[in-house]
Amino acid sequence: MDPINVDFGNKNVVPETPKGSTWKKVLGSLLISLIVAGVAYYFMLPALNFKAFELYIYIAVVIMSYIAAFGVLSKAYFRPEYMEYAKNKVKIPIVLILVLAAVVAVGSLVGAELFRAKDYAKIIEVKDGNFAEEVAEIDFSSVPRLDKDSSNMIATRALGELSDYVSQFVVNSYYSTQINYKGTPVRVQSLDYGDVFKWLKNTKNGIPAYIIVDMTTQKAETVRLEEGMKYSPAEHFNEYLIRHVRFKYPTLMLGEPSFEIDDTGRPFWIVPVQDKTIGLFGGVDVIGAVIVDSINGDTTLVSTSLDGTTKLPTDKFVTDAEFQWLDQVYSASIVNQQYNYYGKYNNGFWNSIIGQENVKVTSSGYNYLALNDDVYMYTGVTSISSDQSIIGFVLINQRTKEAVYYQQAGALEETARTSAQGKVQEKGYVATFPILLNVSGEPTYFMALKDSSQLVKMYAMVNVEQSTLVGVGASLAECTENYAAELKSNGVNVDVDVDSMGDETTSDAPVEETVDVTGTVAEIRSVITGGETYFYIKLTDNATYYKVAVKDAEKIVILNVGDTITFVVDKAATGDIVAVKKVK
């Protein structure tokens, strides 16, 4: 092979050429890069879609692996005199990387908010509505009374009562989805393997159960499955949820999955299908979803289109009767971002910075509201020039993305939380992020008041227009009665049927009879679940294990076999494991 002349100043330098055929080095490098491509695809899982940013990263990784392999095979990394030879032979791959970078830069630029502000504002269509007329007075029997943190705590405790699960599985607090189930707002929570060794032990049979937390009664139910869930984000290799979907739909851009159950209680994963609607990478929207049966892996592709047309190869839609049980196709974060585009850029990009006429944004958080058998994201809307009060609020259907804006001046959610906490400041309770209720035509913030262990102790209602009008109570009935009295004393009459709410109380009120169980400690076991330590104590001449949380009775850690102890338990409690309410 002829040597290559490289000119450095006024000297002609002839780079040394390593032994062996160049073509063999090229073919060897190609083989190595193909292997890297296969391995990288398996783990990176890029969509084979030119709008997917991760595809360009993937291609760059493969090209760079070729360059690195050629450098090794030509010994350029070990023999500096071969470096010029190697550089000349990888010029084309380097040019390809530069081309990729240029495509990404141009694609990002043409979809920049600076140039396409009007298009961003049109991603979501927002209608104006009348709150008092369109949002029915809430059925107080279905008012959600928990937030995600409280739900996770209740689910973790429920799992801890199952002796055959407690050491192998944990509650997956990330995949906690609020849905409507048989007309009741609940959170459904998947389980996760305790660690990689427990995954190895249990993956063949899959995850054996999930947990339903009723947002109104605050009770948890662990639903055991006849056949375990084989496909989930907790799995590895081919049963890993996103990998399973990617191999079936290699060109679809996938969003963050959510966990749901249908009306029969069968568990599914809902994986949103996304599209970039502005430029190459801008204007993320959801155009459909892949519904994955978590037990057998069967998939169904549905479209979110409301006009009967679809960008997806499917004739199924989220509006079809068979998918009425779907609740969260559009994530709250996506619709919240889309509304901010609408509020900021309706009058152009520069107006959002200079002048800011009619520019509005969502407030500091959001929550979920159950209406018409769907789940809506609720958030307040405030003027971008002032964050001291709301000018309205928006409800967005998370199945269809139908958005309605309601004009309503009033207090910010954080202001309402402060007002509620101020009513019980001596107790140190923390208010959850409010949800919006229609109380006899009065827009009202409702929130739970929690103690440091995430237990709901009281409830609070705060008037949206006048945040100083606050009612609190240990039960929903008491809270509403106090709120109605507060409104009446300030000239606002509301007609609320308090008697229809029942006499439910929060978790700090005694609702069951208890008995004392005294005995000699025969056996002590412990386990850590969800970050909490539990002791399981067996007494002499008693087959039951008594479960005690260390945070509820710290002295349990110094208990020894042979000691005498007294537990306070529910009188009706039976079974192999009984939760202890108090240690004497």
pLDDT digit string (tens) for 7-33?
A: 434 445 556 777 778 888 899 999 999
Please say which residue of 469, 501, 533 terminates a domain: 501
Measure the CA–CA gap between 559 and 542, rounded to whole angstroms.
18
14 shares a domain with 80:
yes
Q: Are strands 126-129 and 403-411 parallel, antiparallel or unpaired?
A: parallel
In tens, the pLDDT along 391-412 reads 999 999 999 999 999 998 888 9
91 pLDDT band (50/70/90 cuts)?
very high
| Residue 529 belongs to domain with CATH number | 2.40.50.140
371 shares a domain with 425:
no
Highest mean pLDDT among 204-218, 263-277, 420-434: 263-277
474 shares a domain with 395:
no
Measure the CA–CA gap between 70 and 87, rounded to whole angstroms.
10
Measure the CA–CA gap between 275 and 207, rounded to whole angstroms.
32
288 shares a domain with 189:
yes
Please report the pLDDT score of residue 499 as a whole number.
Answer: 54
Averaged pLDDT for residues 44-66: 97
Please report the pLDDT score of residue 28 as a whole number.
Answer: 93
The values of phi and psi at residue 150, to 5°, are -65, -40
250 shares a domain with 189:
yes
Report the number of distinct structural domains present in the chain.
5
Closest CA to 550 of 536, 567, 560, 561: 536
* Cβ neighbours of residue 292 closer than 8 Å, sequence gap 6 or more: 231, 241, 244, 245, 257, 268, 269, 270, 271, 298, 299
Strand residues in 14-105 grouped as ranges (E): none
Average model confidence (pLDDT) for the chain? 87
386 shares a domain with 337:
yes
CB atoms inside a 10 Å sphere around CB 309: 7
182 shares a domain with 43:
no
434 shares a domain with 309:
no
Please say which residue of 258, 288, 323 terminates a domain: 323
| Residue 355 counted as domain residue | yes
119 pLDDT band (50/70/90 cuts)?
very high
| Residue 61 counted as domain residue | yes
| Residue 126 counted as domain residue | no
Does the structure show a pLDDT above 70 at 510? no
Residues of the chain above pLDDT 90, percent: 52
Please report the pLDDT score of residue 1 as a whole number.
Answer: 41
pTM score of the predicted model: 0.80
Q: State the DSSP string of 253-267.
A: EE---EEEE-TT--E
Please report the pLDDT score of residue 19 as a whole number.
Answer: 73
β-sheet bridge partners, residue 192: 170
The values of phi and psi at residue 91, to 5°, are -65, -40
Averaged pLDDT for residues 205-209: 94
In tens, the pLDDT along 322-379 reads 999 999 999 999 999 999 999 999 989 999 888 888 899 998 788 888 887 889 999 9
211 pLDDT band (50/70/90 cuts)?
very high
Cβ(547)–Cβ(536) under 8 Å?
yes
| Residue 127 counted as domain residue | no
| Residue 200 counted as domain residue | yes
Does the structure show a pLDDT above 90 at 295? yes
Residues of the chain above pLDDT 70, percent: 92
Does the structure show a pLDDT above 80 at 65? yes
Residue range(s) defining the domain that contains residue 17: 6-110
- For the chain, the 3-state helix, strand and coil shares in percent, each to the nearest 5, are 30, 35, 35
297 shares a domain with 172:
yes
| Residue 406 counted as domain residue | no
Does the structure show a pLDDT above 80 at 5? no
* Cβ neighbours of residue 537 closer than 8 Å, sequence gap 6 or more: 521, 523, 524, 525, 545, 546, 548, 556, 559, 565, 567
Q: State the DSSP string of 127-183.
A: EEE-HHHHSPPP-GGG-----HHHHHHHHHHHHHT-TTTTTTEEEEEEEEEEEEETT
- Top pLDDT among 250 and 311 is at 250
Please report the pLDDT score of residue 97 as a whole number.
Answer: 95
CA triplet 504, 496, 371: central angle to 5 degrees? 75
| Residue 533 counted as domain residue | yes
Cβ(257)–Cβ(271) under 8 Å?
yes
Please report the pLDDT score of residue 428 as a whole number.
Answer: 87
End-to-end CA distance of the chain: 91
| Residue 124 counted as domain residue | no
Lowest average pLDDT, out of 306-320, 380-394, 489-503, goes to 489-503
Does the structure show a pLDDT above 60 at 4? no
171 shares a domain with 246:
yes
303 shares a domain with 165:
yes
In tens, the pLDDT along 123-157 reads 999 999 987 777 767 666 677 888 888 888 889 88
Q: Where are the alpha helices (DSSP H) in 476-546?
A: 476-489
509 pLDDT band (50/70/90 cuts)?
very low
150 shares a domain with 22:
no
Please say which residue of 501, 533, 562 terminates a domain: 501
- Top pLDDT among 564 and 508 is at 564
Cβ(25)–Cβ(70) under 8 Å?
yes
Averaged pLDDT for residues 155-182: 84
